[in-house]
Amino acid sequence: MEGYKHTELGWIPDDWDCLELSHITQKERPVSYGIVQTGLPVKDGIKCIRVLDIVNGKIDDDNLITTSHKISNAYKRTVLQDGDLVMALRGKIGELAKATKSHEGYNLTRGVALVAPKANYDSEYLKQQMSSPLFRDYLMGHLNGSALKELAINVIRKIKVPIPKSKSEQLKIADVLSTWDKSIETLTQLIAAKQQLKKGLMQQLLTGKKRLPGFKGKWEVKKIKQLGKIESGGTPDTKIVEYWDGQIDWITPTDITGLNGYRFIEHTQRKITNAGLKNSSATLIPANSVIICTRATIGDCAINLKPITTNQGFKTIIPKDVNYMFLYYKMLSIKDVMIERANGSTFLEISKTDFENLEVLVPPTESEQTVIGSFLEKLDEEIDLLKKQHESLKLQKQGLMQQLLTGKKRVKV
């Protein structure tokens, strides 16, 4: 390949280097982890950064703790300066953030490492390089520890990084990738704003405070049991293998939390057989019912797209003269009420009696319910679309990283 040379990281441009991280970082401030022992906060002490303070590529300044400082060489060399990178060695392993001027003088705790680039290496380029899937895969393949998975500092120091000799090329690559980051961040904020808007509209539309055009008449107070047939679920005997791994989907709270707010459920992790269904309290629920978690993660809901069963942590409403989409949003909106009514010492659970006697306000006509349900569903569809775009942008950025950070695709400087 003309213009390229072969290194242990593969082919890189002739005017790039393949360097150990220890050669990219300052000699007097080598890659090291913090030794600050947090203990009780010290008034007017030194602020220090823990793993949990590294959030979404930034240092979260809100909950930083303060501690007294030790005067030692180890302490001194992890005192933060503008442009330094900090990386989690435990927990969110590999999570990175760039320190700004406001973090100067802060220190690090035991689970966080300092990466301080030399003047001729750009820290934003290095941050992008260290966030790349290749880099992360390498880290995950080199974890130490048994009780607690952790990165050894020497592993990080010895990682080889492809880097342009020209700082302006580093800056340009970092600039291109940061632009993508900004687009992703903008979309994240847009999704959050849309979700907030939906929350506000739900409060208004589902209580009758705001009416959609063309609807009148007083909303009625109804008990949940008046809105449909309430079914409970059950677990077939787990010791009898014939009851399991059949064709019938069987919902547990994990399946619902795994939907991440998506409305519909079609497949579940665990399945039961006809014999399992017959010999347990599980019941087969018809499609388009509203399934509500009444235990542990109380109030989480979903609509089943096909006949399905649940364990006993759910109550299902098979709607009668009520629009199922309206009912779904209505149930979501009373999550807090359900939690309030729940009992239990180890974890909360709302009983069937309490659940079916909960009172809710409903519009007088099914057509108004349908319009409200469709309106909110449309909002959710818009959010779904934004989430898809968000995922797609992230994938595109990963592809670009692969090209730009290996020199396969060059930028014009």
Interface residue list for DNA (CB under 7 A): 32-33, 35, 37-39, 50-53, 72-75, 77, 88, 90-92, 109-111, 144-148, 150, 152-154, 232, 235, 237-238, 252-254, 257-258, 295-297, 311-313, 343-347, 349, 351-353
Closer to DNA by Cβ: residue 101 or 353: 353
CB of 117 to DNA, least distance (A): 18
Distance CA 262, CA 243 (A): 29
CB of 124 to DNA, least distance (A): 24
Distance CA 412, CA 172 (A): 8
H/E run at residue 318: strand 314-319
CB of 109 to DNA, least distance (A): 5
Cβ contact 34:109 at 8 Å: yes
CB of 54 to DNA, least distance (A): 8
Closer to DNA by Cβ: residue 88 or 302: 88
Distance CA 106, CA 393 (A): 34
Cβ contact 54:97 at 8 Å: yes
CB of 207 to DNA, least distance (A): 27
Closer to DNA by Cβ: residue 115 or 174: 115
Closer to DNA by Cβ: residue 311 or 323: 311
CB of 312 to DNA, least distance (A): 5
Sequence-separated (6 or more) residues with CB below 8 Å from residue 44: 66
Cβ contact 132:401 at 8 Å: yes
Closer to DNA by Cβ: residue 313 or 363: 313
Closer to DNA by Cβ: residue 254 or 365: 254
E strand map for 116-203 = 143-144, 150-151, 160-164
Cβ contact 285:303 at 8 Å: no
In this structure, what are the phi and psi dihedrals at residue 190, rounded to the nearest 5 degrees? -65, -40
Indicate the length of the chain as a whole number.
413
Closer to DNA by Cβ: residue 73 or 247: 73
CB of 49 to DNA, least distance (A): 9
| Ramachandran bin of 407, using left for φ above 0, alpha for ψ from -120 to 50, beta for the remaining angles | left
What does the block give as tokens for 324?
């199922």
CB of 169 to DNA, least distance (A): 32
Closer to DNA by Cβ: residue 252 or 369: 252
Cβ contact 279:340 at 8 Å: no
H/E run at residue 303: strand 301-304
